[in-house]
Each structure stands twice: as structure tokens, then as C-alpha cells.
Amino acid sequence: MKIYSKHRNSLLELICMLFILLFVYAAVSKFLVFDEFKIQIGQSPVLTNYTTWVAWGVPFIEILISLMLIIPRFKLLALYAAFTLMTMFTTYIFIILNFSDFIPCSCGGVLEKLSWTEHLIFNIIFVILAFIGVVILSPQKNDNTSKSVAL
């Protein structure tokens, strides 16, 4: 039982570190070329009306989630937030790929080098990792409390 727990904790820490690395890298990349990032968001057929909010909000949320992942008390909430954010990014890519004639690229750094299909797969992997992290950290229900007592 202790070995299983040790591996669970190691996997959880790895998942958290991967998200911290991803989100800090992505946020810094966006802030370094903020004007270009904002223009690319404005070119999106889905996000045009929300350009300023998205351009500031996404990197801010990425940094916030990264900080929350460091603090044990907020780790589960941060994993839920990472799962939600990655699901939103993945859904956005899916919509752009399947329902838009124009595909703007607002990703920075290394992620910009991925094809849209590779980026979709990358995001799906991170959605799965966030889900695994949530499952690992979620409180386990006690089976004895759910059983009825026979008289």
C-alpha cells in the first residue's frame, strides 16, 4: 500500500510540475510578444469581440494556476482549473480546425512549431494528465459509510 501511495504522489508531483512548466512558459511567451499575441487573438473568428479580455486573462490565469499548484491547500482546485482551461483550449482548437476557414496562430515559442493536429493531441494529453491529477488528489469515499446496516 505504501509503494502505491509513493508512486501516486510522485505521479501527482510530476503532473503538477508539467503544468507549471507549460503554463509559466506559455504565459511568459505571450507577455514577451504581447502586442502580436493580442493581434492574433483579434484575428480569431471566435474571439474577436473579447480580444482585450482574452489577451490579458489567459496569461494571468496560467500564472495563477501555476502558483496555486505550488500551494498544497490549492492544488486540487488548481488541477480542476488546469483541466477546465486545457479543455477550453482543446475545444477552441477543435472548433477552429473544423468550422473556420482562417486559422490564426496565437501560440508562442515551441508550441507555435506544432501543426494544429499535433497541438490538438498535445492538449488532449494535458487534459488527461489534469484528470489523472484530480483523481489522485480527490478525497476517497469511505465504502463503509455508503453501505446500509442490516438488522
Per cent of the chain over pLDDT 70 is: 81
Distance (Å, whole) CA 73 – CA 61? 18
Per cent of the chain over pLDDT 90 is: 56
Distance (Å, whole) CA 150 – CA 141? 20
Distance (Å, whole) CA 6 – CA 10? 6
Q: Domain ranges in the chain?
A: 2-137
CA 50 to chain centre: 20
Contacts 24+ apart (CB under 8 A), 28-33: 28/59, 29/107, 29/108, 29/109, 29/111, 30/55, 30/58, 30/59, 30/108, 31/59, 32/108, 33/108
Write the burial class of residue 149 (CB in 10 Å: 0-12 exposed, 13-18 middle, 19+ buried).
Answer: exposed
Residue 145 has pLDDT above 70, yes or no: no
CA 35 to chain centre: 23
Reported pTM: 0.83
Averaged pLDDT of the chain: 86
- In the DSSP assignment, the letter for residue 141 is P
C-beta separation of 15 from 66 below 8 A: no
Write the pLDDT tens digit of every residue in 30-67. Answer: 999 999 989 888 887 778 888 899 999 999 999 999 99
C-beta separation of 106 from 44 below 8 A: yes
Q: For residue 149, what is its C-alpha cell?
A: 446496516
Residue 105 has pLDDT above 90, yes or no: no
Instruction: Provide mean pLDDT across the span 71-84.
Output: 97
Q: Which residues of 55-91 are buried (b: 16+ CB within 10 A; e: fewer)?
A: beebbebbbebbebbeeeeebbebbbbbbebbbebbe
